[in-house]
Amino acid sequence: MSATIQSIEAILVDIPTIRPHKLSMTTMGVQTMVIVRIKDSSGLEGLGEATTIGGLAYGPESPESVKLTIDTYFRPQLIGQPSDNRNTLRVMLNRSTRGNNLAKSAIETALLDLQGKRLNCPVSDLLGGAVHSHIPVLWTLASGDTAKDIEESLSLIETGRHCDFKLKIGSRALMDDVRNVAAIKAAVGETASVRVDVNQAWDEATAARGMAELQAAGIDLVEQPTPMKDYAALVRLSQKFYLPILADEAVADASELYSLAAAGFSGAVALKIAKAGGPARALEQAAVAQAAGIGLYGGTLLEGTIGTVSALHAWSTLDTLRWGTEMFGPLLMKDDIVIKPLNFHDNGVDLPEGPGLGIDIDEDKLAFYRRKA
């Protein structure tokens, strides 16, 4: 007889970042996570996480709304249900609740962790099996100061922690951004890959000029230069330049990626378990991308360790990640709420071993950073 879900808890956790993290739409100094704990009738517990960027600055779900959705809408439906039939539970939640993919991703992650612990196998086994145990990870340079970013990138190259870098641009005048990026690329040279993330800040005309300048500067990838639903602009830009475009906010699931690919887009896609609604749904998107010849990139919403590990288990099952990943979220935070932090080295991170996600909560740290009522 399968175990049933006995309790679901959604906890808001606030952890300061190591430095202000500047994006086109906001600057972050604290990251807020929703930590989900699901316990079943056998006494096991599964962990999940939902995290977004800058409250509501990035998308329609905030940490507070995710907690409310789980507490008010998901919990009453899930209590008493068998915990091992994730497909049935997913269909049930999708029929009763539109959208809210961050909340659904946290639930799916916790159920995967729970099932992995019950079966004594890692989450990657439940997703088809890991092909890789060490996943490449880039670092985002987001101080907004050219000299600081150059110093930071050279230091990380020297220590071997990262050799690929992304810069958040779009909040300043176009040529100011271009000069900043070009200076950093010149400083790191050919030994490092430099990409940019515009976070939808440009219109098509600005993007065309910006991409021409960035292409000449030796930049490798431009992430989401134009507004998320302007598919026509993304297609035209992807066909105009050999500098590839990374579609991020434009595609949340497999059907949206199919539509973009069918319209003639070529380039890459940022897979994110949060925007897809969970690790399994993100892998559906990966399958469509691979069929369309679109490169894969493991994206993040700057999750903490729990959300990061959930994504890593999914990315580990993919044969080729053409553009690597950006699963550096835990490194951006001043502290952690897990007992054993992730091991970042050799320009990547190790996939944790052990059943489920392979991580355990530090109860004292969780209590310290838990948001007080």
Taking only the tens place, the pLDDT of each residue in 16-42 is: 998 777 665 667 788 999 999 999 999
CA-closest candidate to residue 52, choices 71, 36, 66, 70: 66
Residues 6+ apart with CB under 8 A from 327: 135, 137, 298, 300, 308, 311, 312, 315, 349
Check residue 234 and give its pLDDT.
96
Contact yes or no for 285/112 (Cβ under 8 A): no
Mean pLDDT of 146-172: 92
Q: Which of 320, 325, 244 is nearest to 289 (CA)?
A: 320
326 among known catalytic residues: yes
Identify the band that residue 2 occupies on the pLDDT scale cut at 50, 70 and 90: confident
pLDDT at 58 over 90: no
pLDDT of 104 reads 98
Can you give the pLDDT at residue 24? 59
Catalytic residue among 45, 223, 303, 326: 326
What pLDDT was estimated at residue 19?
Answer: 79
Burial of 1 (0-12, 13-18, 19+ CB in 10 A): exposed
Residue 271 has pLDDT above 90, yes or no: yes
Listed range (52-61, 153-162, 237-246, 330-339) with the worst mean pLDDT: 52-61
How many other β-carbons are positioned within 10 Å of the β-carbon of residue 53? 19
Catalytic one of 166, 168, 185, 272: 168
Calculate mean pLDDT across residues 288-301: 96
Residue 94: pLDDT above 70? yes
Does the pTM surpass 0.75? The reply is yes
Residue, of 141 and 195, whose pLDDT is higher: 195
Confidence band for 328, pLDDT divided at 50, 70 and 90 = very high
What's domain 5-122+361-369's architecture? 2-Layer Sandwich (3.30)
- Please tell me whether residue 128 adopts helix, strand or coil conformation: coil
Alpha-helical runs (H) found in the chain: 63-69, 75-78, 86-96, 101-119, 123-126, 146-159, 174-188, 204-216, 231-240, 254-262, 273-276, 279-292, 305-315, 329-332, 363-369
Residue 28's beta-bridge partner residues?
Answer: 21
Average pLDDT over every residue of 301-314: 97
pLDDT at 142: 79
Q: Which residues contact 151 (CB under 8 A, 6 or more apart)?
A: none
DSSP bridge partners of 193: 164
pLDDT of the residue at 359: 97
C-alpha closest to that of 333 among 342, 320, 324: 342
Strands 295-298 and 268-271, bridge-based pairing: parallel
d(CA 2, CA 167): 48
Residue ranges per domain, the chain? 5-122+361-369, 126-350
Is 353 designated active site? no
Fold assignment, 126-350:
TIM Barrel (3.20.20)
Work out the pLDDT band at 186, boundaries 50, 70, 90. very high
